[in-house]
């Protein structure tokens, strides 16, 4: 009986079925990731789970970017490092010590 319904599906229905499966996988992944994190309190985890189910795609993507393992960072350049090419003497340290 199920095979007869699958054969009668239109391309639009296949698309809807594929989107539903993608949503369920993304929601499950986001819920598991939300409950594994230590950044959120218990209440925040519950609210996030509710929002993941209610507002499916948008909230899941936001949670993914908020809870990613490596936050954006940058390296701070050390100033006056003698080994770098950017080192320079100002010549203002001791009066009268110009070259």
Is 39 among the domain residues? Answer: yes
Query: Per-residue confidence at 23, pLDDT binned at 50, 70, 90?
Result: confident
Is 43 among the domain residues? Answer: yes
pTM beyond 0.75, yes or no: no
Number of structural domains found in the chain: 1
Residues 2-31 have a mean pLDDT of 83
| Separation CA 65–CA 34 (nearest Å) | 12
Cα torsion angle, 82, 88, 94, 99, sign: positive
Q: What is the pLDDT of residues 37-86, one digit of tens each?
A: 888 899 999 999 988 887 777 777 787 788 776 655 555 555 555 555 65
Is 34 among the domain residues? Answer: yes
Give, to the nearest 10 degrees, the angle between helix 56-66 and helix 11-36: 40
Is 86 among the domain residues? Answer: no
């Amino acid at each position: 009986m199920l095979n007869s319904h699958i054969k009668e599906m239109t391309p639009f229905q296949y698309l809807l079925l594929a989107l539903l499966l993608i949503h369920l996988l993304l929601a499950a992944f986001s819920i598991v990731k939300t409950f594994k994190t230590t950044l959120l309190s218990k209440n925040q985890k519950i609210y996030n789970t509710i929002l993941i189910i209610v507002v499916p795609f948008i909230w899941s993507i936001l949670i993914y970017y908020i809870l990613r393992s490596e936050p954006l960072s940058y390296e701070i350049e050390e100033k006056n490092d003698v080994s770098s090419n950017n080192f320079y003497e100002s010549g203002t340290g001791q009066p009268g010590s110009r070259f």
